[in-house]
């Protein structure tokens, strides 16, 4: 088949790779001058099967109410005159019901395990290097209350196959000595030893190179204007490059445009529940002679993650549902480096921090849309929210299976199945 993949983030490029391996003729289109230059650029770097509990959970409404007035809170709704946002909020409220949270956690764990295995497989097969570390993820709790509140979710992931070891303070610091100065504040931790970390941007760039060698065509600096609908089918995609507009046709189209998928899909009558959840990261060099963490850390009190990438630490977190604006709010940026200073005092060269913001393509349930849409020839691989890097390889592999009429080897609620 001739297939056009719309978007060259981690989801578009992994889709292109697996589709090309099935012998399809694949073209990838993106408005940037390279791949992974938007949300896949500087994320938290975690391959985190163990972060499968969705934002929407029974504890979320109370937490959100408490955070409402704090400008540096981990999750912030800034209500706008945008009914898509209000509808998203209502759907989010529904996903906070215990049965929905349980279902979503199991689905995300299944997809996470499948995807992590796909990533490991790709890395070995293609010799990809992207500052990866296989030291697991340490979920650190600063209060017994927070640890006990998280325990059922973590136990559920364990029940469904995610290895998880509960550690006391001494065991936590023994595993990650860089936390020594912070140890007085640690109540306990959960370590997921098979989770990983690594640079999503470097990974995607290398995979795109392998795609190009395998015959995939990349058309950069090209804006996707609209899908051309004909009755119940998609017949083409209108693009603009260097001031010229053109319609390209194919046998199938894959939408992998991150949070911008929503605009394109609404214009052809679909109503995906995807809304941008803005997050920030700081990439900070380690001072000479200092030791920073090598185990990736999730700080549950502040909802901030810390991943070692070569000679730097990537600190990421915060979520702001406030539209598509990417402007850096320095208050929220500095909340990241301030917290890093509490965990690893004197270790990072904060004066050289590189701040970044990105828009997670968030769905109310945290479940992505993968599979066949109700419009002929149109497939989706989008809406991966907080876990697009974790689910990148597996989602691409599963989509290629579905497009070749094979059943993916994972229990997940794919579209159209
Ligand atoms: C602060 C932060 C921390 C995160 N940490 C983690 C983490 O630790 N682990 C994890 O698993 N996930 C994490 N994520 C989530 C992850 O980064 C995303 O889910 C993932 O990058 C989404 O990839 P994507 O390919 O769907 O979207 P994108 O990477 O945004 O790709 C979409 C592409 O579409 C292109 N595009 C959009 N519109 C058009 C158009 N009209 N015409 C042409 N091209 C267009 C864009 O240029 C872009 O390249 C984090 C996200 C953020 C913001």
pLDDT digits 0-9 by tens, 322-363: 899 999 999 889 999 999 999 999 999 999 999 999 999 999
- Sorted by sequence, the CB contacts under 8 Å of residue 95 that are 6+ apart come out as 54, 56, 101, 104, 364, 365
Where does the pLDDT of residue 72 fall: very low under 50, low under 70, confident under 90, or very high at 90 and above? low
The residue-averaged pLDDT of 35-39 equals 98
Pocket residue to mutate for ligand 1, from 28, 39, 259, most atoms within 8 A of Cβ = 39
The residue-averaged pLDDT of 407-415 equals 97
Q: Angle at Cα 318 formed by Cα 312 and Cα 320, nearest 5°?
A: 140
Where does the pLDDT of residue 65 fall: very low under 50, low under 70, confident under 90, or very high at 90 and above? confident
Separation between Cα atoms, residue 382 and residue 254, nearest integer Å: 9
The protein residue whose alpha carbon is closest to atom 27 in ligand 1 is 258
Percentage of the chain beyond pLDDT 70 is 98
Query: Distance from the CA of 222 to the center of ligand 1, in angstroms?
Result: 17
Query: Distance from the CA of 274 to the center of ligand 1, in angstroms?
Result: 12
Query: Distance from the CA of 319 to the center of ligand 1, in angstroms?
Result: 14
Report residues whose beta carbon is within 6 angstroms of any ligand 1 atom.
7-12, 30-32, 37-40, 43-46, 48, 223-224, 256-258, 260, 279-281, 305, 316, 358, 360-361, 382, 384-390
Where does the pLDDT of residue 69 fall: very low under 50, low under 70, confident under 90, or very high at 90 and above? low
Query: Distance from the CA of 226 to the center of ligand 1, in angstroms?
Result: 20
The protein residue whose alpha carbon is closest to atom 21 in ligand 1 is 40
The residue-averaged pLDDT of 58-64 equals 84
What pLDDT sits at residue 71? 65
Averaged pLDDT score across all residues of the chain:
95
Where does the pLDDT of residue 385 fall: very low under 50, low under 70, confident under 90, or very high at 90 and above? very high
């Amino acid at each position: 088949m001739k297939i056009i993949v719309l978007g060259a983030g981690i989801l578009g490029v992994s889709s292109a790779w697996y589709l090309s391996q099935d012998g399809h003729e694949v073209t990838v289109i993106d408005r940037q001058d390279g791949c992974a230059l938007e949300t896949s650029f500087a994320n938290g770097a975690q391959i985190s099967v163990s972060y499968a509990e969705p934002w929407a959970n029974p504890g979320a409404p109370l937490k959100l109410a408490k955070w409402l007035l704090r400008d540096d809170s981990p999750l912030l709704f800034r209500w706008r005159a945008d009914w898509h946002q209000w509808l998203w909020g209502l759907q989010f409220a529904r996903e906070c019901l215990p049965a929905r949270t349980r279902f979503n956690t199991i689905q995300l764990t299944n997809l996470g395990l499948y995807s992590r295995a796909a990533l490991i497989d790709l890395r070995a097969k293609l010799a990809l290097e992207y500052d990866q570390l296989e030291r697991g993820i340490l979920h650190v709790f600063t209060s017994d209350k927070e640890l006990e509140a998280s325990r059922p979710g973590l136990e559920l992931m364990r029940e469904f196959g995610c290895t998880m070891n509960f550690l006391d303070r001494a065991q936590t610091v023994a595993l990650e000595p860089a936390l020594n100065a912070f140890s007085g504040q640690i109540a306990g931790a959960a370590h997921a030893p098979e989770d990983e970390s690594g640079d999503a941007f470097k990974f995607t760039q290398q995979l795109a190179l392998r795609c190009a060698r395998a015959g995939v065509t990349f058309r950069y600096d090209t804006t996707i204007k609209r899908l051309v609908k004909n009755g119940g089918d998609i017949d083409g995609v209108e693009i603009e490059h260097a001031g010229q507009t053109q319609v390209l046709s194919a046998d199938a189209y894959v939408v992998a445009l991150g949070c911008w998928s929503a605009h394109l899909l609404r214009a052809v009558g679909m109503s995906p529940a995807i809304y941008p959840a803005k997050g920030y990261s700081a990439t900070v060099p380690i001072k000479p002679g200092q030791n920073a963490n090598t185990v990736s850390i999730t700080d549950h009190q502040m909802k901030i993650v810390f991943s070692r990438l070569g000679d730097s630490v990537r600190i990421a977190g915060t979520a702001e549902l406030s539209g598509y604006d990417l402007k850096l709010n320095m208050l929220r940026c500095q909340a990241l480096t301030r917290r890093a200073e509490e965990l690893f005092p004197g270790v990072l060269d904060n004066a050289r921090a590189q701040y970044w913001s990105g828009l997670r393509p968030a769905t109310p349930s945290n479940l992505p849309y993968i599979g066949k849409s109700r419009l002929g020839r149109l497939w989706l691989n989008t809406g991966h929210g907080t876990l697009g890097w974790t689910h990148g390889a597996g989602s691409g592999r599963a989509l290629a299976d579905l497009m070749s009429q094979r059943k993916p080897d994972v229990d997940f609620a794919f579209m159209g199945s």
